[in-house]
Amino acid sequence: MEKYDIIHLEDDHPTAFLCQRAITKAGLTYHNVQTLAELEQLLHTAAADLYILDGSFPLQPGVCKSFLADRATGKIRNLHPQAKILIYSGNNPEKFDDLPHVEYLGKDTSFDDLVQKIHSLLKQG
C-alpha cells in the first residue's frame, strides 16, 4: 500500500497547486484527487497520515460540485477508522458540525497557517 503524509481532495486546480507547493516545501508527501470517485479508488491502494477535504467537490469527473464532505469522511473512516481528517473549505463551518473527530480550517487561512495546522495534527497521537 502506498503511503503519503497528505491525501487532498480538492477539485480547484489553483488551490490544489498552491497547497501542494506549500505542503511539499514543508517536506511532506502529497497526493491530490479531484473527485469522490478518485478518492474511493485511491483508498484501496494508498493511505495517508492526514486527509484534507474540500467541502464541495464533484462525485465524479464531469459532474457538478455537491456538498460531499460527509460522504468522503465516511469512505475514509470505513477503510481507515483512526484517520485524521481536516476540512479545508470556504463553506460555512457549521456545515461540518455533524462530522465527529474532524478539524476545520477556512480557506481564508494563509498557507503558512495551513502547514502549521497540518504539522500540529500530524504530531497528535
- pLDDT tens digit sequence for 1-57: 899 999 999 999 999 999 999 999 999 999 999 999 999 999 999 999 999 999 988
For the stretch 52-101, pLDDT in tens is 999 988 888 888 888 899 999 999 999 999 999 999 998 888 888 888 88
Q: Is the pLDDT of residue 118 over 90?
A: yes
Q: Where do the domains of the chain lie, and which CATH numbers do they carry?
A: 2-123 (3.40.50.2300)
Q: pTM for the complete prediction?
A: 0.93
pLDDT, residue 86, reads 97
119 has a pLDDT exceeding 80: yes
Residue-level pLDDT at 94? 86
Report pLDDT for 34.
Answer: 95
3-state secondary structure the chain: CEEEEEEEECCCHHHHHHHHHHHHHCCCCEEEECCHHHHHHHHCCEEEEEEEECCEEECCCCCCEEECHHHHHHHHHHHCCCCEEEEEECCCHHHHCCCCCEEEEECCCCHHHHHHHHHHHHHCC
Is the pLDDT assigned to residue 125 strictly greater than 80? Answer: no
